[in-house]
Amino acid sequence: MRRRTLARTAVAACALSLLAALAPAASAQGGSHGDRHGKPAYKRVGYFTQWGVYGRDFQVQDIDTSGQAAKLTHINYAFGNVSAEGTCFTGNVPGEADAWADYARPLVAENSVDGVADTAEQPLAGNFNQLRELKAKHPGLKVLISLGGWTWSTHFSDAARSPASRKAFVSSCIDLYIKGNLPADGARGGRGAAAGLFDGVDLDWEWPGSAGDTDTVYRPEDKKNFTALVHEFRTQLDAYGKSLRKRKHYELTAFVPTAPAKIDAGFEVPEIMRDFDFVNLQGYDFHVSGERNTAQQSALRAARGDFSVDRTVRDWLRRGAPARKLVVGMPFYGQGWTGVTGGGDGLNQPATGPAPATWAAGYEDYKALKKLADSGTYTIHRDRKGSHAWLFDGTTLWTFDDPQVLSAKTTYIRHRDLGGAMFWSLDGDTSDGELMAAVDRGLNRRH
């Protein structure tokens, strides 16, 4: 995924990281969490970024007003961090944790899901309280805490290294997020302040057994340790769920890579899939703007030897993953190059570097790319066989997914009987949730 961490510079770093890494469904209303025909509903998993509430000004309320919330089954909150001591933690530590955004920041009425301003006395405010209000408005919607990301996977290997360290790590995460025992921050936080908010844990360790960010530790034994860590999470989550007066199943998921070398270095697929409810497949950043030539970043199908959604799905199936536990990742952003030469439609041509963009060079939200497409300056090109699209104005190229591409991908999901779709990230969509609506229509379409 990305730590897609600290709003701007992390986006570019993550993009390079992922290059290295390289049923009738629910009711027509969308977002229902069952199926009229008794079959499991397709998952619709959207990542909400902690830092997006600042410069991007994408609030939890926007998930509701855009129509996204009514169509989602899961929201993954990105991200929770792992300390050097091997525990889940939060606080106000620049670059490491942001308790202010998580649960201390007061919201005024017009930015609140329920239209009521936060008070100085309430123990839970910020994003966590807004997510709680969103769940109350949309019963059945689940919220998971996503741990790690590109920047914050630094200490995963250490935390997973021994039975004792795994037990302590998992226990700390359950205490902080599932039991909701937040550090006190004035009136905010305290024991049980966030109890009942999170419905499970999403593991975004990038990557067990192979290189990730520059300071991320990795070891050959990460592969077996990851299996043991997943099982420890499953064991402790189940035990806590059974201890409640009203028993609850807490979900356990992960973000997993597309590159076969990354899969084989870090994932004992049959073993971990027994403990995961589902996994979110990397379905984007197959090529990124840091490369010298333009290329597709999220094609459904590609030439032999190139990355694609179909190849990723097949690689996970071949290694023993059940189809219904594979959720296909889809980008709500594009990768872009400038200084493109060579003529033609611009694809697979030399470029001088990443294209200028709003938040980080070479990375632009779909909502901004839609405006470029509508401006008349760019021409949209499509590879019908590969099901991918790009914009080109003769100098600058952006590769991205639009509703037409997503329609083809949802057809693929239905025909392959996969688990559903995941989106990075919700703030890249239009204000009326155009991409989310396209996926919802596609997954609800009959065979």
Predicted pLDDT at 40:
58
Q: Please say if the pLDDT value at position 400 is more than 90.
A: yes
- Using CA atoms, how far residue 225 sits from 184, 210, 265, 282, in Å, is 33, 13, 12, 22
Average pLDDT value for residue range 69-84: 98
Average pLDDT value for residue range 47-58: 98
The more confident residue out of 272 and 15 is: 272
Predicted pLDDT at 63:
98
Q: What is the mean pLDDT of the chain?
A: 93
Average pLDDT value for residue range 250-279: 98
pLDDT, tens digit, 9 for 90 and up, residues 190-246: 999 999 999 999 999 999 999 999 999 999 999 999 999 999 999 999 999 999 999
State the pLDDT confidence band at 1, using cuts at 50, 70 and 90. Answer: low
Question: Is the CATH code 3.20.20.80 the one for domain 9-333+402-444?
Answer: yes
Catalytic residue among 206, 232, 364, 434: 206
Q: Say which range, 7-11, 77-81, 156-160, 163-167, has the weakest mean pLDDT.
A: 7-11
Predicted pLDDT at 12:
41
Q: What values do phi and psi take at 226, rounded to 5?
A: -65, -45
Q: Which residues pair with 421 in a beta bridge?
A: 44, 328
Q: Where are the domains of the chain?
A: 9-333+402-444
State the pLDDT confidence band at 185, using cuts at 50, 70 and 90. Answer: confident
Q: Please say if the pLDDT value at position 306 is more than 60.
A: yes
Predicted pLDDT at 31:
40
Average pLDDT value for residue range 428-446: 96
Q: Please say if the pLDDT value at position 7 is more than 60.
A: no
Is 206 in the active site? yes
State the pLDDT confidence band at 39, using cuts at 50, 70 and 90. Answer: very low
State the pLDDT confidence band at 446, using cuts at 50, 70 and 90. Answer: confident
Q: Give the contacts of 44 (CB within 8 A, at least 6 positions apart).
A: 30, 31, 71, 72, 73, 74, 420, 421, 423, 436, 439, 440, 443
Predicted pLDDT at 447:
62
Tell me: cis bond preceding 276? Omega within 30 of 0 counts.
Answer: no
d(CA 374, CA 62): 23
For the entire predicted model, the pTM comes to 0.93
Both tokens of 440, joined, read 């919802």
